Amino acid sequence: MFTRRVFAGCAIALLAASGGGQEHQHGKGEKLGAVHFATSCSAEAQKEFDRAVALLHSFQFNHAIQGLNAALKIDRTCGIAHWGIALSQWSNPFAAGMKDNSQLQAGRESAERGKAAGAKTERERAYIAAVASLYSN
């Protein structure tokens, strides 16, 4: 009887504590750290690109895609942004076998847009080719 009470008490305490971590306040502004990934994009697009790569590395994939689209809006010739979109669409790298067909198709299309954009440097073309290989069968 004592063991059951201890177990029940521990279970209730753990259950109560598990929800507490979900409610928290974020400080003002983003705290992503400094990222600089040199590109051939315009200086203004580069700022959006760097922020988006920081978001990508913070596992904030949808926000990263938004930032990369913002970079493309500023500089349509920023082909490497398509690499970032495709990589963000891959999402969690630790869940490689858990992608649905629509997610894989979206990533393939982004990689193809990157190839079609004609990245300006060999390095950028290599990054785009590498992300395209993630989506190849």
From CA 31, how far away is CA 54, in angstroms rounded?
10
pTM metric for this prediction: 0.76
Summarize pLDDT for 82-112 with one digit per residue, the tens.
999 999 999 988 887 888 899 999 999 999 9
Q: Give the domain ranges of the chain.
A: 35-134
CATH ID of 35-134, from 3.30.9, 1.20.120, 1.25.40, 1.10.20: 1.25.40
Q: Chain-centre distance of CA 118, in angstroms?
A: 23
- Any idea what the Cα angle at residue 101 is, between residues 100 and 104, rounded to 5°? 90
Summarize pLDDT for 41-81 with one digit per residue, the tens.
999 999 999 999 999 999 999 999 999 999 999 999 999 99
Q: Report whether 119 contacts 125 (CB < 8 A).
A: yes
Q: Report whether 71 contacts 49 (CB < 8 A).
A: yes
From CA 20, how far away is CA 87, in angstroms rounded?
32
